[in-house]
């Protein structure tokens, strides 16, 4: 499965951890996020990922910002995109099973590794 990932400056560290984890599991990961840690506007960073998921029903995404809210608000404006805020394994499972989420939104500043 191809997984798109994206993040603003608040999510660089978490994105790197998620990227490594997914690659070790054998997923093909496309990183569309900020890598610099310099301040960026989260909508600019999320639009390309959300458009791609909106146009490709079989693709999934993981997005990250400080709270996970800004990025999910942007992504959820796109037709066919269902981004769910998630902070635990149980919620991740529930938003897939009950909400058919195709994007997982993570609050980078409120998760510990
Ligand atoms: C960036 O400081 C922060 O506002 C952003 O990462 C996000 O939490 C917005 O929703």
Tens digits of residue pLDDT in 23-69: 999 999 999 999 999 999 999 999 999 999 999 999 999 999 999 99
pLDDT of residue 51: 98
Report the pLDDT value the prediction gives residue 5, as an integer from 0 to 100.
Answer: 98
Atom of ligand 1 nearest to the CA of 69: 10
Instruction: Give me the catalytic one of 9, 47, 86, 98.
Output: 98
Pairing label, strands 60-65, 2-7: parallel
* Domain locations along the chain: 2-110
Q: Calculate how far, in angstroms, residue 27's C-alpha sits from the geometric centre of ligand 1.
A: 27
The third-level CATH classification (topology) of the domain covering 2-110 is Ribose 5-phosphate Isomerase B; Chain: A, (3.40.1400)
pLDDT of residue 112: 85
State the distance from the centre of ligand 1 to the C-alpha of 65, rounded, in angstroms. 5
Pick from 18, 67, 61, 15: nearest CA to 36: 15
Which atom belonging to ligand 1 lies closest to the Cα atom of 11?
6
- From the CA of 47, how far away is ligand 1's center (Å)? 15
pTM to 2 decimal places? 0.97
Q: What is the pLDDT of residue 113?
A: 65
């Amino acid at each position: 499965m191809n997984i798109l990932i994206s993040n603003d400056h608040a999510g660089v560290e978490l994105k790197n951890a998620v990227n490594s984890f997914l690659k070790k599991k054998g997923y093909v990961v496309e990183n569309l996020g900020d890598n610099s840690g310099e301040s960026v506007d989260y909508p600019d960073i999320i639009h390309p990922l959300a458009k791609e998921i909106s146009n490709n029903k079989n693709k999934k995404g993981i997005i990250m910002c400080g709270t996970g809210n800004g990025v999910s608000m942007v992504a959820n404006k796109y037709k066919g995109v269902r981004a769910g805020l998630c902070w635990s394994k149980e919620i991740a499972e529930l938003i897939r099973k009950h909400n058919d989420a195709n994007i997982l939104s993570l609050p980078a500043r409120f998760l510990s590794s």
